[in-house]
Structure formats: structure tokens, C-alpha cells
Amino acid sequence: MTMKSVLKLRHYLIPRISDVLFGAVLLYTAVFAGMRMLGDGDTGYHVRAGELMLKSGTILHFDPFSYIRPQLPWTAHEWLAEIIMALCHHVAGLPGVVLLFSLVIAVTNLFFFRMLRDRGAGILLSSAVLLLFITAAKVHWLARPHIFSLLFMISWYIALEKLQDGEEIRAWLLPASMVLWVNLHGGYIVGIFLICLYLAGNLSLYFIDHSEWDAMARQRVVILLKILGWSLIAALLNPLGYKIFLFPFQLAMDKTLMDGVQEFLSPNFHEPQMLKYLLFIMVAALVASRRRMPPVHLILILFFLNMALYSVRYTPIFAMVFLPIITRHLDTDDMESYFPRITRFLRRREATVASVDAVARGGLWPVLVTLVVTFFIVSGKISYSFDPAIKPVAALEFLKREHVTGNVFNNDEFGDVTIYMLADRYKVFIDGRLDMYHSAGILKEYFKVTTLQPGWEDILNKHAIGWFFFDTNSVLTRFLQAMPGWKLIYSDKVASIFVRNSPEYQYLIEKYPHVQLAVIDDVKK
């Protein structure tokens, strides 16, 4: 091997900063935080739904998991994501599903970092901004289909920003990718919003900057209209047809869901919410900068800020849109006038890091890390499942042994894990598909029972409820403990099981006569 070949090989062996960031995110999500990625039980029903579709060869149009009759209509509009999840689960169980979404998260962050770099930000600044984005998005790093939407959104955002800057793009790729996006997750609507917002920003130039309108904006509007039209047509290629356009709006405008489900609530600024720190950054940057923000960027920030204030679940997409804009809006000359010593110090460090990064070829280390992690997960050397400290894993093992008969009233999260672990033996009252249950009136009944509103017992009679499977640290559980009509047969710090004090369950009552409600640690309270 010649000296030239050795030097060339060394260039490939030196990891780029983007390689290091990719590897760090992948290792964290797939290995060190693998169990945390399973923090939402919805993963369970997605996997089982995908398995049913693979087995039948058709998309599900009716609910297969609940005992509610008549059978509830439910079209698996995220069918493609669920089938992919089922295939990964077939190969490597839940760790395989986590690896899938860990890779998607790592690629999303890589695209975000490269977007910052391509738009002119230095390596150190891009790395710092990426860490801010990770902090904002990490709370939603879960093995669920919404992760696909983050990847598609950053891809569309990059393309539309390039178009806005006068660069040529392959416009047809956006409608083509919409065919996948609409069948992976309901967040496809964000892509439609993005195009409309760029259209609005460019159309506004007709009124506020006619020279820019004549020079560039008119042409961009034509391209954006074509992208929008073809994207809307592409979005129709889904199991729901045109009804898919109604779904996101029905969800967002539903007060029962928005006010009753924690992830849909507005951010609580009494808690350390990342959104309030992003707002501080925005105000500070706008005050410090002398640059005028383009209308399209102002519209983007205001729209996605409104979404984040409406529901905390939209904070990651606000961060994804806002941080690159505010990074471009920063003027380094302004920064030097405010912080001259710090700015000069960072510039020297930036030059050092950039010189090393420029030598590295990149690409090798992300592939190696992915292959190593995949090997350890597929071979079973890295294994994890739902966390028994927060999920009713032990209680479901009890139910596997006893096989309690009759209809259950369960916690919605417990329903997800029940579907995953014991779908062949138990049907649930409710699970994570809350939009389906709400349209059938079940969600209102669920909230009525859990909050012990007048008439809650009528709902139990209506559905012939024979036993409860609910979280131990709940008002409902403590109430049932004091009711002579219900007997506790199992309790741990996560879940408790009550059966009706009736002849049907007498054998269980006699088998477990002295069960006490588990004591919850103060930390969990």
C-alpha cells in the first residue's frame, strides 16, 4: 500500500462531527434509552395491528382488539408504519422496533445538522443548535409512527428553504414522498401546511416588496402551486381517501381529546418546558439582531409557535422550524459587538475544528455504528421490553396465569400493553386509539367512570363490566377499595385488579382473600 493510499484511508477513518453526532444519538436511543423509547404503550397495538395485516394481506377496517359491540369501524391509516414495525418485531422483538425508530431519529438529527451547515452556520454553532433541538424533541422520542413525520418534515423543510434561496430542487420528490408519508402517519398534514406557508410568504411580497416579487417570488409561487397540487393528489392514495384530510382537523378541534389527554394539553410554564426557553432565545435574538426577517420566515415562526402553544406535543416541530431560522437571523458582527472576547475565542476554536472536519471524508462511522448496534440487537445481546416499573407487566403475567373471565374496564395505557402481551386471551375496553373510541362515545364513558361522575355505575352495567384493571395510584382504584361490591385480587405499585363480588368470581376472591392495595412510593406520587 502506497503512502498516498494510507493517507486516503486515514481520511476515511477520521470521523466528522456529523458522524459523531449521528452515532451518539443512535447509541443513546437504541442502547442506553431503549426502554425509555417504549415509554408509550401505543407501540404494542401498532405492532399487533401490523402483524394482523401481514397475516390477512389486507388493511384493517374494523377494530380487532376491543370487546365493544357492534365492532367499531377503524381504518388503520398508519398501516405502512405498522407493517414495518411488525416486520422489525418479527426479526428482533421490541428492540428491533426501537432500532427502527432510533435510526429514523438519528437520520433526522443528521439532516437538521446538515441543514444548519448548508445555510452557513459554523460547526460549533450548528452543534449547539442541534443540542437545543434534541432537548426540545427528546420528550417525544418514542417507538411510534410520529417519528417518521419528523424525518419527512425536515426533508421537506430543507427542500423548501433551498427553493426559497433560489436553488434548484427536484420538486417532484415532495409529492412522490407524500405517498409514503400519508400512509405512515397523520403528520403528513404538516407538509401541506409548509407549502401553504411558503406560498403565503411569497405572495405577501407582491404587496410589500414588488421588486423581489418580480425577481424571484413569482416563479417560486408557480413552483409551490404545482407542488401543492400534486401533493394533495398524492395524499389521496391512502385507505381513507379524501377523508384523510378531515382527520387531523377533527383531532385538533376535539375538546374531549384536547382537554382530556395529557400530550394534547397546552404547555405548563410552571414546569421546565423547553418551549419557554425557546421563546427566550427568540426574543433575545430579535432584540440583538439588526437584520430584517423575511416574511416567509416570520409566517413560519408564528404559525408553528401557535401550534406549540396550543398543544405541547407540537414543541418539537416548532423547534425544528424556528431554530434554523433564528440561526440564520443571527448576525456574527452583532454578536462580536456584544461579546467580543467570547466571539473571537469561538472563532479560533471553530477554525481548528473546521480544519480537522474538512480533512475527514465521513460516512464510514455511521455505517459501522449502525451495523454493530444492529448485530447486537438482532442477536439478542441487547434486549429490553416495556418497563415493569411504569407498565403493568407483572399484572399481565398474573392475568396470563389466572385468565379472568368477563369484560374488563381498563386504563387506556394498560389496554395497549394488554394488546401486545395478551391479545390472544383478552379483549380491552379502551386503548391508545382514542380518536376511534371518542367517535363511538366510549371515550366520554371512560372519562365519566374514571372521574366517578353521576351515572358511572350505569356505564359498568351497560358494558357488563366484571372486573377492573387500573393504575394503583388513582382515585378510581382507591374508591373501589372502599366499595363492598368489588374485591381486590391483585395489586402492585403499577396496577391493581378488582373483580365483582359475585358468584362468577368467587373462586378468585377465595384464592386471593387478603390482598392489600400496594403502597406507592412518595417519589411516584
Across 39-53, 157-171, 326-340, least confident range: 326-340
Q: Highest-confidence range of 245-259, 322-336, 395-409, by mean pLDDT?
A: 395-409
Three cell numbers at 476? Answer: 378510581
- Comparing C-alpha atoms, which of 325, 314, 374, 299 is closest to residue 149? 314
| The pLDDT of residue 11 | 59
| The pLDDT of residue 120 | 85
- pLDDT tens-digit series, residues 23-76: 999 999 999 999 999 999 999 999 999 999 999 999 999 999 999 999 999 999
- Comparing C-alpha atoms, which of 405, 393, 401 is closest to residue 467? 405
More confidently predicted of 44 and 2: 44
pLDDT at position 164 over 90? yes
pLDDT at position 368 over 80? yes
- pLDDT tens-digit series, residues 352-363: 777 767 777 767
| The pLDDT of residue 285 | 74
| The pLDDT of residue 524 | 42
Q: What is the DSSP string of 112-142?
A: HHHHHHHTT--HHHHHHHHHHHHHHHGGG--
Burial 476-491 (b: 16+ CB within 10 A, else e): bbeebbeeeebbbbbb
More confidently predicted of 282 and 173: 173
The percentage of the chain sitting over the pLDDT mark of 70, rounded to a whole number, equals 92
pLDDT at position 509 over 50? yes
Q: With bands split at pLDDT 50, 70 and 90, how would you rate the model's confidence at 193?
A: very high
Helix 146-164 × helix 315-329 angle, to 10°: 30
pLDDT at position 8 over 60? no
- pLDDT tens-digit series, residues 210-223: 788 878 889 999 99
**Distance in angstroms (rounded) separating the CA atoms of residues 474 and 462:** 23
Work out the number of other CB atoms within 10 angstroms of the CB of residue 383. Answer: 13
Mean pLDDT over residues 312-321, rounded? 93
Three cell numbers at 183? Answer: 400512509
Judge whether 451 and 464 are in contact, CB under 8 Å: no
Q: Highest-confidence range of 5-14, 220-229, 242-251, by mean pLDDT?
A: 220-229
Mean pLDDT over residues 269-290, rounded? 78
Q: With bands split at pLDDT 50, 70 and 90, how would you rate the model's confidence at 335?
A: low
pLDDT at position 339 over 80? no
Mean pLDDT value across the chain:
90
Judge whether 488 and 497 are in contact, CB under 8 Å: yes
Q: Highest-confidence range of 11-20, 25-34, 211-220, 283-292, by mean pLDDT?
A: 25-34
| The pLDDT of residue 342 | 67
Sequence-ordered list of residues with C-beta below 8 angstroms from that of 485, at least 6 positions apart, any chain? 500, 501
| The pLDDT of residue 3 | 47
More confidently predicted of 253 and 4: 253
Q: With bands split at pLDDT 50, 70 and 90, how would you rate the model's confidence at 251?
A: confident
Q: What is the DSSP string of 353-405?
A: HHHHHHH---SHHHHHHHHHHHHHHHTTSS---S-TTTS-HHHHHHHHHH---
Q: With bands split at pLDDT 50, 70 and 90, how would you rate the model's confidence at 337?
A: low
**Distance in angstroms (rounded) separating the CA atoms of residues 189 and 245:** 8
Across 251-260, 289-298, 421-430, 491-500, least confident range: 251-260
- Three-class SS of residue 514? coil
Q: Which helix (H) or strand (E) holds 517?
A: none
pLDDT at position 340 over 70? no
| The pLDDT of residue 115 | 96
- pLDDT tens-digit series, residues 66-83: 999 999 999 999 999 999
Mean pLDDT over residues 6-19, rounded? 69
Sequence-ordered list of residues with C-beta below 8 angstroms from that of 170, at least 6 positions apart, any chain? none
Task: List beta partners, residue 407.
Answer: 465
| The pLDDT of residue 7 | 45
| The pLDDT of residue 42 | 96
- Comparing C-alpha atoms, which of 50, 156, 28 is closest to residue 101? 28
| The pLDDT of residue 525 | 38
Work out the number of other CB atoms within 10 angstroms of the CB of residue 252. Answer: 15
The percentage of the chain sitting over the pLDDT mark of 90, rounded to a whole number, equals 71
